[in-house]
Structure formats: C-alpha cells, structure tokens
Amino acid sequence: MIAARLRALRESRERGSALLVVIGVAVVMLILVASSLQLTSSTLLRSSTDQQAAQALDAAYAGVQEYQSRLNSNADYESFGNPASTWSAGSAVTLPTGAAANPAFGLGTSGTWATVPVPSGQSATESFRYEVDNTQYAASGLVRLRATGRAGSTTRSVIATVHQRGFIDYLYFTDFETLDPAVSRVTSSCNAYLWATPSRSGACTNVQFGASDVLRGPVHSNDSVSACGTDFKGTVTTSAPSGTLTVPSGCAAPLYEGAGGAPTYEAPVTMPATNTSMKAGTYAGSTVGGSPGCLYTGPTTITFNAGGTMTVVSPWTKVTNPSYTSGVASSSPAMCGSISQLQSSSGATVATLPSNLVYVQNVPASTSDPNYSAAVPSNFTCTYSGAGWSYGGAAYPATIGGSTEAPADGWFIHDSASNTNSWTSTNPAYGCRNGDVFVKGTFKGAMTVAAENYVYVTGDLVYTSTTSDILGLVGNNAVIVWNPVTGSASSPQTMLTDSGRTVDAAILSVAHTFMVQNPGWGSVRGTLTVLGSIAQRYRGQIGAGNAQGALVTGYAKSYTYDPRFALTTPPRYLEPVRITYGVVRYATTTTAFNADGSAH
C-alpha cells in the first residue's frame, strides 16, 4: 500500500519535470524562430539596399556614357552645364534651352533627373544627373564630370575624366606609309593606301621600320606598315583590313612586347588639311578660348632657357597680336617681346607663355596686313651664291665652322636622281619670307609652337622636368631635325660634330612629315631619342639602312610615349577632323545628392 503511494508520487513528480522540460524547449524554439525571422528580415533588407546601391552606381556610369555620347555628337557640348553647381565653379558653362534642354543638369529637390534608357516595353526605374567642370578644357582638352545615379532611395556618385582622342594618343601615327612626294619628287599621287583598291602608285617609296628601331608606346598607321626586325614595346594597330604588318624578304620578324601582342585593326584617324586654324588663337579679339598667344612673322628662332624663359629673334615681325575683328586694335604685348628687340640680332628674352600658343606665319602678301613687308629687314640677308642659299642674320645660323650649308635633297642637299643642286633663286631651301621656326634648348612650362611652314629642331630640345613641363610642335608642313651637310655629291659631310639628338615634345606635321634633314647623306649620326608623340601625313626618313635593316646614315630611332598624353595635351594642340572623346579615368567619390535631390 505504502509502495503504491510512493510509486504514484514519483510518477507525478516525473510528469511535472517533463512538463517543465517541454515548456523550456518550446521557449527556446520560439526564441530561435524569432531570431531566424529577424535575421531573415535583416538579410532581405540589406540585400535590397545592396542591390539599390549597385543599381545607383550603374546609373551613375550610364550618365557618364550618355554625356560622352553627347560630346561625340557635338564637340562644343563641354560648354554646357549648370553654372549654379558648386562642382562647376570657375567653369564657363551655360544651360542648354528649348529642344536642347537636358534634364541631367538638374539641381536640388525641384531639379530634374534623366532616366536611364531601357529596352522597349520596360519601365525606367533608375535615373542620373551630372555636373561639368571644364576649367582644364582650353589648356588640355580635359572635361571632368561628376555623375550621380539614383535607384529607389539610394544614390551613388562617380567622377569621370573625359579626354579628346586624337593623334596624341599614339607614340607614332602615320597617315601614309610612303616617303613624302615632296622629298622623293614623285609626281604620281601617293595619297592612297597600300591596302586600298586601287592602291597607290608603285612610284611611291614605301618606308619601313628598321632592325635598330625601338618604339616604346602605342603605334598606329592608317596604312599598311612594313617592319624589319623592329622592337614594338607598345600596342600596334593598323587600318589595313587584314590588321597585320608586312615583313620584307630577308628581314627578321618584328618583336611585339606590348600588352596587346600582335597587331590589330583600328579605324583611321583623319588629319586636318592645315594648321592655320591655330593662328586665330594669337589674334586680339579672337573667339578662340583663353587669352591670345604670340604671332611671329617670317623666319624666327626660339631658344628655350632652363629658367623658364625663351629668347626669340624674328626680324620680319611688326605686330604680335594683330586685330581679329574690326574695331579691335592690333597690339604687341610685352609677354611676346618688344618689336625692336625681336628685330635685333640678340632677340627678346621673355617668359615662356603660360598654357598658350606661339604661331610663326609666312610674311603676308597683302599690303593691308600689319605684318606686311616689301623690303627685307636691314639686319637680315637672303642671297643666293650659286652654291646655295645664305640665310643670314641671327634668324638662322648660315654657317658652321666657316662652312656654308648648301640646299638639300628634296628640301635639302642634292637631287637624288642627278646628284646636282636642284634649287633655284625662286625655290630656295630656306625661304627668306617663309614662316619657319628654329627651336632648341631646355624648356620649362606648358606651350605649343606652330609654324605655317617648317619647324626645325636645331639642337637638343629637352624638358626641365618630365613630369611638369609639356611642349607641342606643329608644322603645317614638315617638322625637321636639323642636320646640315656640306661637300660634294660624291663626298657629303655632316656639318654637326655632336652625336645623337633628343626631342621632348608632342610632334605633328599636318601636310608632310617628321624627318631628319639629309637622312641619306653623310654618316651615322647616333640615336634620335624622342619622349612624346609623333604624328605625320607621310612617313619621314630618319636614316638609311642596308637590306638587313642595319643603319648606314642618319639616326637610329628610340621613341618613348609620354604617358601624360593619355590624360592631357599641350595647350591649344591641333585636333583631328572628327573629334571623339573617351573616358580615361574613373574615381568613386562622396555621394553628391540624396534621393530627393537635396545636397548630400
């Protein structure tokens, strides 16, 4: 009896303990379920936020691409923006109106946003707006854009640097891979590509890269390129449909060390007809952006000095800022040098122009032009002696070591066909009234030098600093490395006693070529070292080699691309016929606007 009661009491206690365990387990399960639901809700919320952030960033990038397409359709679109934006402070921008109005220029809570384009049948859910900074455009062709994308309640911003694409994107650019007809005296038209149908005349002299040539940077030709054992350390592109280079018989294959490997096809880059549009930038009252540069007339020497100055001798110059529009007086500002000093043998020493342009023009033929001259300046001589032209005065060193330089092949010494002097009193090697500029020295600053005729590099032309100095050389005709030759046709002798030449600059020959004077005469001159960019209508001859590509006369090439040219150009540098823009740099930044349009 007692045992039964004890057993019942124990069972009752066990049932009570089990109930407590069940209740405890249930509580724990409820806590776990609640925690799981909270975690799931939090994860879903975070996933939604992350998705919106990614969509907003995509919308910002879409805004950059949309602005880039507007620039490529209208090269002047960089002048549009919202002047009320703090990002655009200092920029010369205006809002487009009427049919040209752009909702992406909206500001504030009441401002507009542009919608991201979506396929037909879908509704746009993301939008963007952007702000323009064009303060660097006149000097370097750069536009900075801050684009903000919006998705739901989330916004994100990016900064893009947009740059004009052109000749300066290449270390070496050539339109036609043939010797300039003005040098080779070919009467047939050589303005046809070797790959085209019909191709150019067989009388045109095709030029090849040699075995001693090293090119450290991107190379492009609109034509078919020929290379004999050349070392290409950058990308190589051609507009030949095959996208390949030609290796002449007996030559070693080129070495392609660039990231792009073997050559590839790229669309042609169109050269302008002349560089005369640049001259407007030196006229008082010009509509070209920025303050006017300096215009010099006739043969002019510019020697750059390491301290950031230049010594200019220009005997024909009378006015350095002529009138561009009626009612604007012609002037000769001090920054270009006083006229009396420019006309003297010692010249005018002035500071290099700050982010500006020097243009050297031919002596005008119009009597109404303020720089017209009928008479030769008193301190300048130009006489034909029978053996050659003497280009006297300080404007050009007519003699070296007592020897007078003779005219030359093509532009320079001997006729390649008859080995006789081909120049006449009406066709001098150095035109006494031509817009030729002779440059050398140590350059400091940011400037472009352009000539209506030839640019002659008469000595080493180097930067004080390869990180802060930038120089452009633009010849309407040729850009020439000076290499005078004297002696007979059977025994020509180089008149210079140094070896090698260095040029730091962006070089562009619009109608002709970049070449060495007398490349096939005299002896080996060492290596032509260029840091910058080279662009030309025709292939210029730098030296002459044998069948195996070994150098016999002239210079070997050592060309290195200036990587800064991927982001900037020398001031007022010449542009291709059709300007295109590409994004060269992206950077994330603090979000500029909240989703309601207010400043973040």
3-state secondary structure 317-376: CCCCECECCCCCCCECCHHHCCHHHHCCCCCEEEECCEEEEEEEECCCCCCCCCCCCCCC
Considering only residues 551 and 527, tell me which one the structure prediction assigns the higher pLDDT.
527
554 found inside a domain? yes
pLDDT band per the 50, 70, 90 thresholds, residue 416? very low
Average pLDDT, the chain: 81
Q: Is 483 helix (H, G, I), strand (E, B) or coil?
A: coil
Q: Is the pLDDT of residue 288 over 80?
A: no
Quick one: 408 and 351 in the same domain? yes
Kind of pairing between the strands at 214-216 and 551-561:
parallel
Mean pLDDT of 490-517: 87
Q: Which one, of 349, 358, 249, lies nearest residue 306 by Cα?
A: 349
Q: Which one, of 175, 170, 177, lies nearest residue 235 by Cα?
A: 170
> How many domains does the structure of the chain reveal?
2
Cα–Cα distance for residue pair 415/408, rounded to 1 Å: 8
How does DSSP classify residue 489?
S
Q: Is the pLDDT of residue 10 over 80?
A: no
Quick one: 363 and 392 in the same domain? yes
Kind of pairing between the strands at 172-179 and 154-165:
unpaired
In this predicted structure, what is the pLDDT of residue 587? 87
Quick one: 386 and 408 in the same domain? yes
pLDDT band per the 50, 70, 90 thresholds, residue 411? very low
Mean pLDDT of 140-163: 90
Quick one: 376 and 426 in the same domain? yes
Quick one: 158 and 284 in the same domain? no
Cα–Cα distance for residue pair 121/139, rounded to 1 Å: 45
Residues 6+ apart with CB under 8 A from 386: none
Contacts for 329-337: CB closer than 8 Å, 24+ residues apart: 329/284, 330/284, 330/370, 331/284, 335/294, 336/294, 336/295, 336/296, 336/312, 337/294, 337/312
Query: What number of other Cβ atoms are within 10 A of residue 161's Cβ?
Result: 18
Kind of pairing between the strands at 255-256 and 231-232:
parallel
Quick one: 141 and 59 in the same domain? yes
Considering only residues 251 and 141, tell me which one the structure prediction assigns the higher pLDDT.
251
pLDDT band per the 50, 70, 90 thresholds, residue 345? confident
Percentage, residues of the chain above pLDDT 90: 41
Task: Please give the helix or strand (H or E) that residue 462 lies within, else none.
Answer: strand 455-463
Cα–Cα distance for residue pair 145/125, rounded to 1 Å: 23
Q: Taking phi first (over 0 means left), then psi (-120 to 50 degrees means alpha), and beta for anything else, what does residue 75 get?
A: alpha
- Residue 485 forms beta bridges with which residues? 494
Q: Does the model's pTM come out above 0.95?
A: no
267 found inside a domain? no
230 found inside a domain? no
pLDDT band per the 50, 70, 90 thresholds, residue 424? very low
Mean pLDDT of 347-356: 94
168 alpha-carbon distance from chain centroid: 3
Mean pLDDT of 584-590: 84
Cα–Cα distance for residue pair 315/330, rounded to 1 Å: 18
Quick one: 110 and 137 in the same domain? yes
217 found inside a domain? no
In this predicted structure, what is the pLDDT of residue 588? 80
Q: Is the pLDDT of residue 6 over 60?
A: no
pLDDT band per the 50, 70, 90 thresholds, residue 401? very low
Quick one: 590 and 468 in the same domain? no
Q: Is 277 helix (H, G, I), strand (E, B) or coil?
A: helix
Write out the residue range of the structural domain in which residue 411 sits: 276-578
Quick one: 404 and 532 in the same domain? yes
> What is the per-residue DSSP string for 186-244?
--S---S-TTSSS---TTS-B-EE-TT-EEES-EEESS--EESS-EE-S-EEE-STT--
Quick one: 437 and 563 in the same domain? yes
Quick one: 397 and 528 in the same domain? yes
Mean pLDDT of 82-92: 93
Considering only residues 137 and 27, tell me which one the structure prediction assigns the higher pLDDT.
137
Quick one: 561 and 589 in the same domain? no
233 found inside a domain? no
Cα–Cα distance for residue pair 565/92, rounded to 1 Å: 24
526 found inside a domain? yes
How does DSSP classify residue 17?
H
- Residue 528 forms beta bridges with which residues? 501, 557
181 found inside a domain? no
Using CA atoms, how far residue 523 sits from 94, 412, 418, 430, 493, in Å, is 59, 16, 21, 23, 7
14-28, 257-271, 411-425: which has the minimum mean pLDDT?
Answer: 411-425
Mean pLDDT of 207-230: 90
216 found inside a domain? no
